[in-house]
Amino acid sequence: MSRIPRQRLSAFLDMLAAERGAARNTLEAYERDVSDYLVFLAGKPLEQATSADIRGWLADLAARGLKASSAARRLSAVRQFHRFLYTEGLSGSDPAAAIEGPRLLVRVIDNGVGIGAEDLKRIGDPFFQAGKTYQRRHEGTGLGLSIVKSLVALHGGEMTVDSRLGEGTTVVVALPVVFAPPVARPSSNIATLAPPSRAELQQMQVRKRA
pLDDT at residue 32 greater than cutoff 90? yes
Domain at 3-98: CATH architecture = Orthogonal Bundle (1.10)
Question: How far is CA 199 from its chain centroid?
Answer: 43
Q: What is the mean pLDDT of the chain?
A: 79
Q: Is 193 helix (H, G, I), strand (E, B) or coil?
A: coil
Strands 103-110 and 168-176: antiparallel
Sign (positive/negative) of CA torsion 37, 38, 41, 45?
positive
Question: How far is CA 169 from its chain centroid?
Answer: 27
Share of the chain above pLDDT 70, in %: 71
pLDDT at residue 40 greater than cutoff 90? yes
What is the CATH code for 103-176? 3.30.565.10
Segments making up each domain of the chain, as ranges: 3-98, 103-176
Phi, psi of 46 (to 5 degrees): -60, -35
Question: Average of pLDDT values for 189-205?
Answer: 61
Q: Of 182 and 12, which is predicted with more confidence?
A: 12
Question: How far is CA 182 from its chain centroid?
Answer: 13
Residue 133 is predicted with a pLDDT of 45
Other beta carbons within 10 angstroms of residue 203's beta carbon come to 12
Question: Average of pLDDT values for 13-24?
Answer: 88
